[in-house]
Amino acid sequence: MRGINGSEIRLGRLFNRESGRSFITAFDHGTNLVVPQEAGKPLEVVEKIVAGEPDGVLISPGLLKQAGHAFAFRGAPVPILRADWTILEAGMKEQLGEHYRVLCSPQDALALGAGAMVMYLIMGPEGGTMFADNVAAVARSAGEAQRAGMPLIVEAVLWGSRISDKKDPDLLSHCCRIAAELGADAIKTEYTGEPASMSQVVDHCPVPVLTLGGAKGGSEDEVLEAARGAIEGGARGLIFGRNVWQADDVAKMSASLREAVHGTYARR
């Protein structure tokens, strides 16, 4: 019987033992997007997110350093480190163009107490060099992460300026497959908008696929409909950010999304 390695052990801690799925809240937006002041003080937002009992929290290096106490207890959500950076703010992208840089190594993630790390794979940027450098960075980090026992989740997206349809199922499937072939342990990607096409993305990818929530928009019912659609399409979980921490009631929205992901196993 094949032995299990450190990356697999840590990745497994993100997934509910009974449902086999994961609900993760993302709060790494301050690295590349404007976080509205009305969202609240950063450390207080982290504490609200943790109180919502997700399985994991995606967070930036500096904020994890400052908010480590929120994760320092038995049963706490797994901190997941955002390990790279790109320009996402529309105004800044218009002024400066498309750029990508690595921020942290798997060893840095371990030192900060993270249980997993996330890196972008952005298909379709204006310059081919950016995509080539992005691919090389993910592949290099995947090797380092395997040696360090740190799970690597790749956020495989179509956010490059050359691609107009950011939810194109065929391109998303291709991007996710590239990420898996480069060594990703799991994938974070867009929900295509309906379960049937989402299942094509999931079926073509050899590692677990989780869907992102994107910008806050629509009613709570619409957010939950998208969440349920992703799960119906075979996604192994959700990584939702603004639709959680910008909700009027963070705890209520978290509970609803946990239910959508885990069903009868919503309580950890």
The structural domains of the chain, ordered by start, are 6-260 (3.20.20.70)
Q: For residue 264, what are the β-bridge partners?
A: none
Q: What is the pLDDT of residue 267?
A: 53
Q: What is the mean pLDDT of the chain?
A: 95
Stretch 160-185: mean pLDDT: 97
Is the pLDDT at 1 greater than 60, yes or no?
Answer: no
The band of 268, judged by pLDDT with boundaries at 50, 70 and 90, is very low
Mean pLDDT is lowest, of 36-40, 82-86, 169-173, for: 36-40
> What's the CA gap between 215 and 212, in Å, rounded?
10
pLDDT, tens digit (0-9, with 9 covering 90-100), for 102-143: 999 999 999 999 999 999 999 999 999 999 999 999 999 999
Q: What is the pLDDT of residue 63?
A: 97
37 neighbors 5 (Cβ within 8 angstroms) = no
Q: Which of 140, 148, 125, 127 is nearest to 10 (CA)?
A: 148
Q: What is the pLDDT of residue 126?
A: 94
Q: What is the pLDDT of residue 214?
A: 84
Structure tokens at 164: 């107009």
Structure tokens at 196: 């049937």
Distance from the first to the final alpha carbon of the chain: 29
pLDDT, tens digit (0-9, with 9 covering 90-100), for 203-229: 999 999 999 998 787 789 999 999 999
Q: Which of 55, 41, 112 is nearest to 83 (CA)?
A: 112
The band of 6, judged by pLDDT with boundaries at 50, 70 and 90, is very high
Burial status of residue 92 (CB atoms within 10 A of its CB: 0-12, 13-18, 19 or more): middle
Q: Which residues are catalytic?
A: 188
Q: What is the pLDDT of residue 2?
A: 66
Q: What is the pLDDT of residue 244?
A: 96
Stretch 175-180: mean pLDDT: 98
Q: Which of 21, 141, 133, 12 is nearest to 81 (CA)?
A: 141
Note the pTM of the prediction, 2 decimals: 0.95
> What's the CA gap between 99 and 92, in Å, rounded?
11
Please give the share of the chain, as a percent, with pLDDT higher than 90.
89
Burial status of residue 268 (CB atoms within 10 A of its CB: 0-12, 13-18, 19 or more): middle
Phi-psi region for residue 261, left (φ > 0), alpha (ψ -120 to 50) or beta? alpha
Is the pLDDT at 3 greater than 70, yes or no?
Answer: no
Q: Which of 25, 22, 21 is nearest to 246 (CA)?
A: 25
The band of 9, judged by pLDDT with boundaries at 50, 70 and 90, is very high
